[in-house]
Copies of this chain bind each other. A is one copy, B any other.
């Protein structure tokens, strides 16, 4: 049995893995799903990407975790890449779930298509705390198109504003790209239109290919399959996470 550490993406917090975590726990695994600094209800949004990373490494230290499968969803991909830089000997495998694998020296937002690169700073400029809330229509269509409307609305209410800062910081991932001895998997959800599907430069597989040698695991489902099909996702994370 494995230890899974699930790192959420933008607008999420660690509690939103609950349905997936339950399935993995039922199957005998140990599961942790910490909340990234600057995320979740009530947290201050004044954080850097380093703060995000440090909040996860601190959690791992406090819980004395080693030899874990480190899963990152979406923005969480940029976090687990940098957690691996700091704790390379404790990561058994990296699993990227429709996640960013940023080009070295770029920000997460740099790795999105031009429309988001324009939209997010505009949305943040309208707030007092430099945060971005995803418009509901984008959530409903591009992120969770496989839910019915009621479920899309219900899950939207669970989201909290994303601090813009960590998504626009340029990330030095030189060390990450040297850690080729850590096995890595990419889990691809086939009905995810949050990033432009099939885009040769900005699509999910463009991110996956930056991993070099990797395992590819596919499933039906949207970007938010942890809400729409947690049982299937748990099964796929298990396949992605095994040795």
What sequence of 0s and 1s flags, for each residue 125-147 of chain A, a beta carbon within 8 Å of any chain B beta carbon? 00000000000011011100110
Which chain B residues border A193 with CB–CB below 8 Å? Answer: 186, 208, 213-216
Inter-chain contact B192/A198, CB cutoff 8 Å: no
Q: How far is the CA of A136 from the CA of B92 in the complex (A)?
A: 17
10 new A-B contacts, CB < 8 A, other than A145-B217, A191-B216, are: A140-B215, A141-B215, A142-B215, A186-B193, A190-B218, A191-B217, A192-B216, A193-B208, A193-B213, A197-B216
A144's nearest neighbour on chain B, judged by CB, is B215
CB contacts (< 8 Å) of A213 on chain B: these are 137-138, 141-142, 193
Are B115 and A212 interface neighbours, CB within 8 A? yes
- A67 at the B interface (CB under 8 A): no
A149 within 8 A of B: yes
CB of A203 within 8 Å of the partner chain: yes
Does A172 touch B at the CB level, under 8 Å? no
Docked complex: A185-216 residues within 8 A CB-CB of B: 185-186, 190-193, 196-200, 203, 205-206, 208-209, 212-216
Check if A89 is an interface residue, CB within 8 A of chain B.
no
Please tell me if A50 contacts chain B, counting CB pairs below 8 Å: no
Q: In the complex, are the beta carbons of A214 and B141 less than 8 A apart?
A: yes
Determine if B217 and A218 form an interchain contact, defined as CB atoms under 8 angstroms apart.
no
